A and B are shown apart, each in its own frame.
Chain A
Amino acid sequence: MKNAAQNAFSATSSVLRTIGMTFMHSFRKRDTILYPEEKPYLPPRYRGRIVLTRDPDGAERCVACNLCSVACPVDCISVVKTEDETGRWYPETFRINFSRCIYCGYCEDACPTYAIQLTPDFEMGEFDRQNMVYEKSDLLISGVGKRPGYNFYRVAGMSVGGKDKGQAENEAEPVDIKTLLP
C-alpha cells in the first residue's frame, strides 16, 4: 500500500518536472535557424557535395584508379581511365549519380591521391532526377581542397610529363644496367 502511494507521487512529480523543463526552453537561445536566409556552420570535414580537386601544380589529381568506385557501397561512381601522351593516367569520364549517393565518404577514404573530397555543401536538391548526374566538368574544382601539399605523381614511380624516372621524391638515379661496378 505504502509502495503504491510512493510510486504515484514520484510519477506525478516527474511529469511536472518535465513540463517545467520544457517550459524553461522558451527562454533559451534558439538552435533552429532561419534557413535559407541564415546559413549554418558546417565543419570542413562535413560529408556533403563531392568534388574532384587538383594537385598543387594545378593538374587534375584523379588518376582514374577506380578505387573510389569500388569502395562506393551504392556503386554510384563511374570512372573511365585514359592516358595523356606522356603516359599520365587521368579520367576520361568521371560520373557520380548523386541521386544514389549516400554521402558515406568511403570514396574519399579510398582515394590514394586525395582527388575526391566531400565538402560541406549540401544544397543539391533538384526537381528533375536526371540533373543529379554529375560529370567530370561538374565535379572538378580548381583548388586543392582539404589537402594542400600532396601530389601523387611526385611520389609514384611512373614517369609522366615533366618527371622522368629517378626524379620522384626519394628516388635514386635510374640504374645503368651496362655497368660492371657493384
Chain B
Amino acid sequence: MATITIDGKEFDVDDTENLLAVALSKGFDLPYFCWHPELHSVGACRQCAVKSYRNDEDDKGMLVMACMTPCSDGGRFEIDDEEAAEMRRQVIEWLMTNHPHDCPVCEEGGECHLQDMTLMAGHTQRRYRGPKRTHKNQDLGPFINHEMNRCIACYRCVRYYRDYADGDDLRALGSHNNVYFGRESDGAFDNEFSGNLVEVCPTGVFTDKTLGAHYNRKWDMQNAPGICNHCSLGCNTSPGSRQGVLKRIQNRYHGEINHYFLCDRGRFGAGFVNRDDRPRQPLVRNADGVLEPREMDVMRDTMEEVFAQANGVVGVGSPRASLEDNFALRHLVGADNFTNGMAPADSAASVAARDAIAANADRLATLREVESCDAVLILGEDVTQTAPRLALSLRQSRRNKHLEHAAANKIPKWHARAVRDIGQYNNSPIFSATTSATRLDDIVMTPQRLRPAAIAELGFAVAHALDNTAPKVEQLDADTQALVDAIAETLKGAKKPLIVAGTSLGDPAILKAAANATKALAAANEATRLFVTLAEANSLGMAMMEERDIDHALTAVEDGSADTLVVMQNCLYERAPKARVDAVIKKAKNVVVLDHSMTRTVGEATHVLPSGSFAESDGTLVNNEGRAQRFFQLFIPDAPMQEGWRWAADLAEVAGNKPEWLGMDDLIKTIVADCPQFAGIEDAAPSQSFRKFGMRFPRSPHRFSGRTAMYANVDVRERRPEVDPDSPLAYSMEGYYGEQQPPSTIAYAWSPGWDSNQAAITRFQDEVGGHLKGGDPGIRLFAAPGAAAEFWAAEVTAVDGWQAVPVYHIFGSESQSARAPAIAERMPKPEYRVNAEAAKALGVTAGDSFELAVNGETHAFPLAIDPSLPDRTIGVPVGMHGVCGLRLPVEVKP
C-alpha cells in the first residue's frame, strides 16, 4: 500500500501498480493508447503525460509518463496541469497528422478510442496541411477488415497478437514513419484469438468484417447480456442487433472468466442466427412428405392430436439448450421419459466430469485463475479446439516464470518489456498428453501423444507418484515412469499447480485420473487447482439434470415402448449413427422437433416448432466450473417463434398436462423445487420485477437513433415499445444505466467520454482489470464437499486394435457456429489422419480417398499423414461434414 496525491486529493493505492492504472481506477480521465490492462506498459505512445513532483517543496515538477511511473509512497502528481495537458494535446496532434479523413466511413466511428482520446486531449482543430502518408490494405480473411491508413503506430496489436496470444503472422513491418502492421501477405490470421484485435486496436485499422457486412453504429444497436454458447466455458458476450438482425458479438467483461478476450469461434460464430433457412413458423409434414407452414391456432389442434394419438412419448433434451428449455421438455414428457440428448460416451464422460467437479468444488480454477497457475498438466484435451479461450489463459500461465524472475530483480509486474526480456524463454512448465499434436505444443514440455487409455493411465500414475495411497498403475515402462516422476516432481514444486482434463475423448477414466491427481496434489498443497472442460455450453447442466443419454430415447422407439419423439434443440444425427436414427425416425409415429436451425433432424421431422436461438430467448446455462449464468433475449423476432420452454409449456397444455409456472421467474423456481441440485440459479440474475430507482435496464445506448423512422415505411405511427415479460431489461434506451446496475444486466459498455468497449468498462470495475462492481455475474452451484472424496480406482479400458479418435477443430466441430458463414469459410477440409506407419499398414498414401466405417457410419475422406498420431490410431474429423463424432473413440476395423 502507498499513499499518493493526484490533483490535490490523497489516495491509498496498491504500490505494485502504475500511476495510469491507478488514476483510471480512481475515476480520472487520462488519455492513453499503448497501455492496456492485460498488456501493461511500454511507454511508447507518450499520451499519458502527467506532472510528477519530487516532494512538497518542489513547485516545478517534471513531465512523466503515468503508465511508466510506479505509485511509490508519498508521490504527488498532477493530471490537471497546464504543461502536462499541453503535452498530451501536442502528442495527439502529432499522432493525427497522417490520419485519414475517414470517420464517417470508418466502422470504428462512435466506439473509437482514438476519437475519444482526441477529444479528451483537446485536439479539436487540424493544423497540419502537408501530404499524408498512405498504405495499401491486406485481405485478412472472413473475420477481420484491414484499413492501415488509420494506424497511429501504438503497437498494441502486435503486443497483443505476438506477446499475449503467441501468434506469429502479424508483424510490425517497415521502418520509422512507414511502419506497417500486417501479415507477410494476404490471408486470414492463423491465431484462434485474432478477433480480439478488433477491440484491442484503438483505431479502425482492424474492424469486424461480419459487422461491416451489415453495419450499424454502436449507438444504434440493441444489445443484451449474452453467454457464448459455442463451448462449455461460458464466456460473457454482448451481442448487438438492430431491427431484428444480429449484427455482431462483442466481448462482455467478466472478471473471473473471459475478462477482455474471446476466441474467434465465440466472436464470429453467431451468424447462424441470421440464416434464411431457419424455421420461422410451425411446420407440418404433409402427405407428400414436404414440410409446410401452419398457422399457430391450427398447429395447436394438430399438436393436440399428436399427443392424443401418442402411445408413449420420449423426450430428447440438449446440452446446447438452456436449463429452462430442457426442464420444460422434461415436464412435457415426464421425468421418466426424458433423456439428456448426449451421445453415450459424451454423457458418461460428462457425468464423470460432474463428479470430479463436485468432489473438487473448492479447488476448481476459474478461467482467470488459470493464468496464475505456475505448473500445468493437461490430460487428453486439445484445448485450443475444444475450449478455445482456455488456451489463451494457459499461454499466460507459463509467464508466471517471467514474473518470478522480474520480482526477484525488482522489476514491477506492469513493466511489460522488461518482464519479457528478463523472462526470456524461461516458461512455467506445462505438460500435456493428447492423442495428436496440438496448437499448444509450442509451450508444452515434451508433449506426449497417446491413446485415450494411455492418457488416463498417465494421469493415474502421476497421482500415485504424488501420493502412494492413490491406486497404482501396473506395468509402466521405464520411459513412462521417468516422465511420470518428472511431472510429479514439477507439480509438487509448484506454488499453484493445475490439472486440466475434459470430456472430448469421451473417456471417463481421464476425468477420474485428473480427480485423483488433484486430490493427491492437494494433500500437500492447498493451492492445487483443477480445471475441467466439457463439450457444450450446457453439458454440465445436463449431466446434473439427467444421466440417461440419447440411447434410451432411441431404444424406447426401437422396442416399441414409445412411438413419439420430442426433440429439444438437438440433432439426432450428431449424436447417433445415421442408419439407426433413420430407422428410429421411420418407426416413430411422430417426431416433433423444437429447434432454431435447419438441422438434419428438422429435415426429417413430422412436426417442427420454431424455438428461439440465444438471440430470441432468455435462459440459464451452467458452464464448466458449475457457474449458472443467465443470458437475455436480444430482440423480439418478427415471426411466430418463441422460447423452447414456452413451446414445451404450450405442448404440455394441449397434452393435458398444463404446467403451473406462469413465466420465467416461476419456471426457475419450479426447476429449483424439482431439482434441488440447481438451487442458486434463481440468483444468477435479478427477477423480472426487479427495478433500480423504479426503472428497468436499457438494452440500447441513450442515443439510439431513428426510432420514429425505422418502421415508418410500414406504418407512420410509432410502434409501442415492446415489454419484456421475462427480465428486468427494457427493449429500448430507457431505464437506469450505470455503476449501480446489477452486473448481470449490463448489456453494453459506455461511460461519458469513453465509447470503446474495452475502455468504457473501466467505470464498472472495482479497479481497472479487476472484478465488476457488485460482483462478477453467475452463481457457482457446487459447494465445497463435506468430506474429501475417495480416490477412483485406476481402471482404464484399453483398445488393442485400430482405434478411431476424434480430431476437433475450433471452426467446425461445434454445430451452431459451423452454420455461421464466416466460420464455415474457415472450416478445414475433411480428412482422416494416420501416421506414416499406419498408412503403410493400411496400404494407402496421403491424398488417397479412404473409406472407414465408424459406429456403423461410413465416410470416404482423403487421407492425411499426421506423424504425431500413435500407432494404429485414426483421427476422424468430428462434428463436420456429416460425421457424428461424439461417440468416439471406438475400435474400428479398417
Residues of A within 8 A of B (CB): 63, 65-67, 69-70, 72, 74-79, 81, 83, 89, 95-97, 99-100, 112-113, 129-130, 132-133, 135, 152, 155-159, 165-166, 168, 170-177, 179-180, 182
Contact = CB atoms under 8 A, between A and B. Distances in A.
A95 B710 CA distance: 8
B109 to A, nearest CB: 7
Interface residues of B, number: 44
Nearest to A71: B705
A165 B134 contact: yes
Contact of A130 (B109, B131, B174, B716): B716
A174 B134 contact: yes
Given A97-B709, A130-B716, A157 B136 contact: no
Contacts of A132: 716
B206 to A, nearest CB: 15
Nearest to A112: B104
Interface string B855-886: 00000000000000000000000000000000
B149 interface: yes
Contacts of B212: 83
Majority-rule SS of A interface residues: loop
Nearest to A79: B706
Given A75-B709, A133-B712, 7 more contacts: A69-B220, A76-B706, A95-B709, A156-B101, A168-B100, A174-B134, A182-B175
Interface string B687-705: 0000000000000000111
B105 A175 contact: no
Given A66-B705, A69-B706, A172-B131, A157 B712 contact: no
A75 B712 contact: no
Given A81-B215, A112-B103, A157-B102, A133 B703 contact: no
A49 to B, nearest CB: 16
Contacts, number: 133
Contacts of B131: 170-172
A66 B178 contact: no
A97 B712 CA distance: 7
Nearest to A159: B137
B173 interface: yes
B180 interface: yes
B471 to A, nearest CB: 60
Given A65-B109, A132-B716, A156-B101, A175 B135 contact: yes
Contacts of A113: 104
A172 B709 contact: no
A75 B707 contact: yes
B469 interface: no
Nearest to A165: B134
B771 interface: no
Contacts of A100: 708-709
B115 to A, nearest CB: 12
Contact of B709 (A76, A81, A89, A112): A76
B106 to A, nearest CB: 8
Interface string B190-207: 000000000000000000
Interface string B285-310: 00000000000000000000000000
Contacts of A174: 134-136
B100 A175 contact: no
Contact of B134 (A83, A89, A166): A166
B149 A65 contact: no
Interface in B92-136: 100-105, 109, 129-136
Given A100-B708, A130-B716, A133-B713, A70 B217 contact: yes
11 contacts: A63-B105, A66-B705, A67-B104, A75-B707, A81-B216, A133-B712, A156-B100, A157-B101, A158-B102, A171-B131, A175-B133
Nearest to B178: A175
A175 B708 CA distance: 46
A171 to B, nearest CB: 5
A69 B705 contact: yes
Contact of B219 (A70, A77, A173): A70
B105 A65 contact: yes
A174 B133 CA distance: 7
Contact of A157 (B132, B216, B715, B717): B132
Nearest to A130: B716
Nearest to A81: B215
A63 B708 contact: no
Contacts of A95: 709-710, 712-713
B163 interface: no
A73 B808 CA distance: 52
Contacts of B135: 165, 174-175, 177
A75 B133 contact: no
A171 B716 CA distance: 46
Contacts of B129: 170
A171 B100 CA distance: 9
B709 A157 contact: no
B134 A66 contact: no
A128 to B, nearest CB: 9
Nearest to A182: B176
A126 to B, nearest CB: 10
B362 interface: no
